[in-house]
Amino acid sequence: MNFEGKVALITGASRGIGRGIAMEMCKRGADVVLVGRDRAALDETAQHCAGVRPGAVAHVITADVADQAAMESVVAETMERFGRVDYAIANAGQSIDSLLMRLAPKVLDQMLDVNLKSAFYLCAAVTKPMMKARAGSIVLVSSIVGLTGNGGQAAYAASKAGLLALAKSVAKELGSRNIRVNAVAPGLIETAMTEKLPDAAKEMLIKQSALGRAGTPEDVGGVVAFLCSDAAAYVTGQTIVVDGGVVMQ
């Protein structure tokens, strides 16, 4: 799992799981392109990347991942700067909880735009350079609620479930060009997003886990790195659950 000379583009890289993925890819030798809307937070991620590997190149691009033209521009800038994009990780995501009967249309649109459409736009934008190179790995970051559903999270769960079907479909479209597409479905991961959960809810999720603990962004980063690596050269169209043993398929 040596990524020296490779380039990884990561959306939602400003904090949490995205930052953990960026640091893991940097640690293994890759240059990274960090994409998101919060420039200050992206710069912090870049600093963390430099901390895990002196000399690591972490290029920051501020963009709205839910804007198709913006994502095309991000990939164009990546190609201009590095001349390649080997790995694309669609990690951008947002959770707004609401009971279905109270779900506002604008909330549904936001969940689909940020969690699902952004991944469509990233996949479409990186397809051309990856097809030309006849190589590449795309990883979509979903959630276990995309597999199980969850009360009060219909919009979030539906958007995350869509990523699983997207990974399978694009894997079938691009497999003949040696481009692999997979998804990861994290469970309870210690991030700023999950800090907002009530303690009782966290304790319940931890008790459901066979490992008896919450995960870390590094736990997810390691699985993403595996899926990008040659060690997973015969793995595509799959969903890897990273939840400590809550959902066992």
pLDDT digits (tens, 9 = 90+) for 84-142: 999 999 999 888 888 888 989 999 999 999 999 999 999 999 999 999 999 999 999 99
Q: Could you tell me which residues come within 8 angstroms of residue 227 by beta carbon, excluding any fewer than 6 positions away?
A: 137, 139, 180, 182, 184, 235, 240
More confident residue, 146 or 195: 146
What is residue 36's DSSP assignment? Answer: E
**Contact in structure between 28 and 227 (CB atoms under 8 Å):** no
pLDDT-derived band at 200 (thresholds 50, 70, 90) equals confident
Nearest CA among 128, 58, 116 for reference residue 90: 116
Reply yes or no on whether the pLDDT at 201 is more than 70: yes
More confident residue, 153 or 29: 29
Q: What is the pLDDT of residues 161-187, one digit of tens each?
A: 999 999 999 999 999 999 999 999 999
Enter the pTM of the model.
Answer: 0.94
More confident residue, 150 or 227: 227
Looking at 87, 121, 156, 234, which residue is catalytic? 156
The pLDDT, as a whole number, for residue 37 is 94
Helices (H), 9-153: 16-27, 39-52, 68-82, 105-111, 118-133, 145-148
87 included as an active-site residue: no
What is residue 232's DSSP assignment? Answer: G
pLDDT-derived band at 191 (thresholds 50, 70, 90) equals confident
Give the angle 72-185-35 at the CA atoms, nearest 5°: 30
**Contact in structure between 213 and 174 (CB atoms under 8 Å):** no
The pLDDT, as a whole number, for residue 196 is 67
CATH superfamily, domain at 7-240: NAD(P)-binding Rossmann-like Domain (3.40.50.720)
Domain ranges of the chain: 7-240
Please report, for residues 6, 129, 182, 205, the alpha-carbon distance to residue 82 in angstroms, rounded to integers and kept in the order given: 9, 12, 24, 42
The pLDDT, as a whole number, for residue 150 is 87
Q: What is the pLDDT of residues 66-75, one digit of tens each?
A: 999 999 999 9
Please report, for residues 8, 116, 160, 188, the alpha-carbon distance to residue 146 in angstroms, rounded to integers and kept in the order given: 25, 12, 5, 13
Q: For residues 93 and 116, what is the distance between their CA atoms, to the nearest angstrom? A: 8
The pLDDT, as a whole number, for residue 36 is 96
46-68 CB burial, b ≥16 within 10 A, e <16 = bebbeeebeebbbbbbbbbbbeb
Reply yes or no on whether the pLDDT at 233 is more than 80: yes
Q: What is the pLDDT of residues 10-39, one digit of tens each?
A: 999 999 999 999 999 999 999 999 999 999
The pLDDT, as a whole number, for residue 168 is 98
Give the angle 55-25-227 at the CA atoms, nearest 5°: 160
Percent of the chain at pLDDT > 70 equals: 97
